[in-house]
C-alpha cells in the first residue's frame, strides 16, 4: 500500500526533553512538509523540503528541527526551546507539479506535554 | 485581514439538505484552490481541487470567483457521513516546479443530523 505513515500516534514529552516525530512516505513524492494544528486554528507550516539534503523554514520553525537524508523520510524534532509544543502534528508530501501540486497528509501525531 | 477566511460555523443541517460554505482569500496572485475534509482527530483528506472556475464531483460542487476572491463549496443531499470540518486551502504558486505555499483556513464545521 502506498501512503504516508507517521509514528507514534501519541507522544508525551517531559519538560526540557527533545522528542522526534517520524514521517515516512513510499509515494516517491519529491516534497515533504510538517504542519502543526491547534484547536480552532488552521494548519501552520513548520518546515518543508523539496529535495534530499535541503529544507526550508516555514512560518513557525522556532523550536523545531528537521532533516532530509532520504527521499522517503522527513523526521521532525521538537526541541526543549519550543515552549508550547502540545498540538496535532501533520506530515504531508507532494509531487512538485506547479499550480497542480496537491499535498497528501499522514495520520498525524498528537504531542502532549507532561 | 486573514489570508484565508472561512465562517467557522457550526452548520447544523438535516439529512437531505443543501449546504454551502464560502471562503475568501486575500492574495489575488493565488493560483490554485482546494477543499479538504477533516474528520475529528484525523488528518485532512483532499475533497476537491479547483483550478479554473469550478469543479463538480457527485454531490459536491466547488466554484471559484477570482474577481471577488472567494471559493465556495456546495453539498447537495447531505448525508450523515458528511459531518466533518471542511478546510479551504489556497496555493500561491507562480508555476513551474517551485514550492507553492499552502495557506489553510481555520475550517467550517458541518453537522448533519437525522
User: Tens of pLDDT along B33-89?
Assistant: 999 999 999 999 999 998 788 889 999 999 999 999 999 999 999 999 999 999 999
Closest chain B residue to A39, measured at CA: B106
**3-class secondary structure, A41:** coil
Residues A100, B103: C-beta atoms closer than 8 Å:
no
d(CA B107, CA B70): 15
Residues B49, A102: C-beta atoms closer than 8 Å:
yes
**Residue B93, H or E segment:** none
pLDDT classification of B100: cutoffs 50, 70, 90: low
pLDDT given at position A99: 67
d(CA B89, CA A43): 10
User: Tens of pLDDT along A44-90?
Assistant: 999 999 999 999 999 999 999 999 999 999 999 999 989 899 999 99
pLDDT given at position B29: 81
Choose the closest CB to A40 out of B42, B87, B106.
Answer: B106
Half-sphere exposure of A112 (CA within 13 A, CB side): 7
**Residue B71, H or E segment:** strand B70-75
Cell of B9: 460555523
Amino acid at each position: 500500500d502506498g501512503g504516508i505513515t507517521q509514528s507514534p500516534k501519541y507522544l508525551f514529552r517531559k519538560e526540557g526533553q527533545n522528542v522526534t516525530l517520524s514521517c515516512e512516505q513510499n509515494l516517491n513524492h519529491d516534497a515533504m512538509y510538517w504542519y502543526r494544528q491547534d484547536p480552532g486554528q488552521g494548519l501552520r507550516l513548520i518546515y518543508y523540503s523539496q529535495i534530499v539534503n535541503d529544507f526550508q523554514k516555514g512560518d513557525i520553525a522556532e523550536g523545531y528541527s528537521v532533516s532530509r537524508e532520504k527521499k522517503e523520510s522527513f523526521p521532525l524534532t521538537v526541541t526543549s526551546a519550543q515552549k508550547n509544543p502540545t498540538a496535532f502534528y501533520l506530515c504531508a508530501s507532494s509531487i512538485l507539479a506547479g499550480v497542480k501540486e496537491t499535498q497528501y497528509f499522514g495520520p498525524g501525531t498528537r504531542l502532549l506535554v507532561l | 485581514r486573514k489570508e484565508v477566511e472561512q465562517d467557522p460555523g457550526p452548520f447544523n443541517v438535516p439529512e437531505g439538505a443543501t449546504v454551502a460554505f464560502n471562503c475568501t482569500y486575500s492574495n489575488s496572485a493565488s493560483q490554485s484552490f482546494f477543499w479538504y475534509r477533516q474528520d475529528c482527530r484525523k488528518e485532512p483528506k483532499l475533497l476537491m481541487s479547483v483550478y479554473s472556475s469550478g469543479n463538480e464531483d457527485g454531490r459536491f460542487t466547488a466554484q471559484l470567483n477570482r474577481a471577488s476572491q472567494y471559493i465556495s463549496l456546495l453539498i447537495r443531499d447531505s448525508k450523515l457521513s458528511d459531518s466533518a470540518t471542511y478546510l479551504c486551502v489556497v496555493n500561491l504558486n507562480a508555476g513551474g516546479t517551485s514550492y507553492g505555499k499552502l495557506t489553510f483556513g481555520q475550517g467550517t464545521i458541518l453537522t448533519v443530523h437525522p
